[in-house]
Amino acid sequence: MNIIAQTKELQPRAASRRGHILVHRVSVEFGEGAKARPAILDTSLEIRPREFVCLLGPSGCGKSTLLNCVAGYVRPSSGTVKVDGIIVDRPGPERGMVFQQYSLFPWKNVRENIAFGPLRAGRRRAQAMAIADHFLEMVGLSGFATRHPAELSGGMQQRVGIARALANYPSVLLMDEPFGALDSQTRAMMQENLLRIWSEFSTTVLFVTHDVDEAIFLADRILVMSASPGRIIADQDVPLARPRNPDISTDHRFIEIKKSCLATIRAESLRAFEQQNR
């Protein structure tokens, strides 16, 4: 069997049985002593394998902090985060991360950026490059393998970022407002592209966004966080059929979910504003 064939038979199917996230009574404080500031307070949640879950909430509510706890970049002050039963205490290849800023190596070409993770994981160079080629095809950038990040548009750079995160075949994909810097047309295209990749790859996704429409379009469930210190105050199912297309935004269920989420976020934002002005 050649390298390309081996690449396509690596771990995506196994990933569909992994990716269980369990956050139990997590609190996070920044600072020490009298200057300590709680960012997340006694927060618990569970995400099932292959589920696509979006985190919504007012600005500064701790969405990214919670995501970074799952990623292993932030350690909880109390409580535990587990992925597939293993306590998270550091970053790991089973948890791929996509940031709002593209975070690509500017001195490496696209193919080398994607191959970086597999090479660090100990794969032979030929196999790592075959994996990179596979994911370049998946994100529609096969013709840009030798380009450098500065030669790509923002949307194309983010597609490279997604490909790089997937190249280690993670069971969990963590995304921190990955489309926030894109124009509306590119953003809509990226949302549809992400759903296609997710359906093919069968990984669990935890996606932070401030955009209610984006959350409803993408998610199986939406978790709404309170104003800081953040905690989960609403768990909203999104019972809309898949595959989804932009026309779904006129569905009466889409509109009702949007009204409910906006009302919850508005109430929390007003509460936070009143607290700041006391």
- All structural domains of the chain: 3-276 (3.40.50.300)
The per-residue pLDDT for 125 is 93
Q: Where are the alpha helices (DSSP H) in 72-183?
A: 110-120, 125-138, 154-166
Model pLDDT, residue 32: 80
pLDDT of residue 185: 87
- The pLDDT of residue 277 is 64
**pLDDT for residue 200:** 87
pLDDT at site 15: 47
Q: Which stretches of the chain score pLDDT less than 70? A: 1-16, 274-278
Residue type, 258: K
Pairing of strands 37-47, 95-98: unpaired
Cα end-to-end distance, the chain, whole Å: 69
Cα separation of 142 and 64, whole Å?
A: 31
What are the strands, taking DSSP E only, across the chain? 21-30, 37-47, 52-56, 78-83, 86-87, 95-98, 172-176, 204-208, 221-225, 232-237
Residue 99: the pLDDT is 86
| Cα-based distances in Å from 79 to 22, 29, 67, 109 | 11, 12, 15, 41
